[in-house]
Amino acid sequence: MIEFRNVSKTYSTGTEAVHNANFTIEKGEFAFLVGTSGSGKSTLIKMILKEENPTSGNIIINGKDTTFLKPKRVPYLRRSMGVVFQDFRLLPDKTVYENVAFAMYIVRATPKHIRRQVPMVLSLVGLSGKAKMYPNELSGGEQQRVALARALVNNPSMLIADEPTGNLDPETAWDIMTLLNDINMRGTTVVVATHAKDIVDRMKKRVIHIDKGIIDRDDKKGGYDSEI
């Protein structure tokens, strides 16, 4: 599903963010990308999203080498992945329903499809009752659920989460993580970049650890620091 082959990334400033990364995340897998800030995990996420291109090596997504993907094709690649961020990135002047529907609008879904799909995904994230509220009327955890609903509404085959719990208190963070697990159980590949040690330890999922741009550990059922 996601495969990195000898991927290195050096920014134009000269800093090498990722050095010779090799890993494969299979379809239906749940994987944590862990490391301190500045370790290179954000760069990895950006390269999966094709926001950044690798300096060398190849990235294969859904069996296709995206390294030399034409910029014109990038939007279609992104439709196969949902993405959530630490800061939720919701539109403040749109309701919960509109925020989610927006994602369907811009991939040109039919109004009929939108009317059916949005309530379904809102109930999946447990926000059926809050469709008409605005983001500033919701708690942080609820806002992240909206972001998740938006990421999932177009049925992507994978979900990329960049520090999804960074702005949340531990309990809410855990709820979001369980939700991510539920989503994974339904067949979506989930990749979570995080430095929330306790959550990673509790989830007992695959952990890819990156330090100073080098992947130094890849445990099938690991903890943040080492195998448990």
Partner 1 sequence: MRYNVLGYLIAEGFRNFLKNKKSTGASLMIMCATMLIFGLFFLIGQNVNYMLKEIESAQGMQVFMIKDATEEQIQKLGEQIQSLDYVAKTEFVSAAEAYNIVKERWQEYSKALEPYTVEKNPFKVSYVVTLTDLSKSEEVRAQIAQFDNVSNIEIRDKTINALVKIANGVQWISIGILVLLVIISIFIIANTIKLTVHARRKEISIMKYVGATNGFIRWPFIIEGIIIGVIAAMISILILGASYNFVVHKIMESDITSMINMTLLPFNQIFTLVIAVYLILGIGIGTLGSAISMRKYLEV
Binding site for partner 1 (CB under 8 A): 49, 51, 72, 75-79, 83, 89, 91, 102-103, 105-108, 110-111, 150, 154
CB 223 within 8 A of CB 200: yes
Which is nearer to partner 1, 23 or 102 (by Cβ)? Answer: 102
Which is nearer to partner 1, 82 or 223 (by Cβ)? Answer: 82
| Closest distance of CB 159 from partner 1, Å | 12
| Closest distance of CB 1 from partner 1, Å | 17
Whole-angstrom distance, CA of residue 228 vs CA of residue 221: 8
| Closest distance of CB 200 from partner 1, Å | 24
Residues 216/218/63/179 CA torsion (nearest 10 deg): -120
Which is nearer to partner 1, 52 or 211 (by Cβ)? Answer: 52
Which is nearer to partner 1, 82 or 222 (by Cβ)? Answer: 82
Whole-angstrom distance, CA of residue 198 vs CA of residue 168: 14
Q: Which residues pair with 193 in a beta bridge?
A: 33, 162
Q: What does residue 78 show for φ and ψ, rounded to 5 degrees?
A: -70, -25
| Closest distance of CB 52 from partner 1, Å | 10
Whole-angstrom distance, CA of residue 202 vs CA of residue 58: 33
If we measure between CA atoms, which residue out of 27, 23, 21, 29 comes closest to residue 1? 27
| Closest distance of CB 88 from partner 1, Å | 10
| Closest distance of CB 190 from partner 1, Å | 16
Which is nearer to partner 1, 63 or 71 (by Cβ)? Answer: 71
Which is nearer to partner 1, 51 or 225 (by Cβ)? Answer: 51
Residues 151/156/162/164 CA torsion (nearest 10 deg): 50
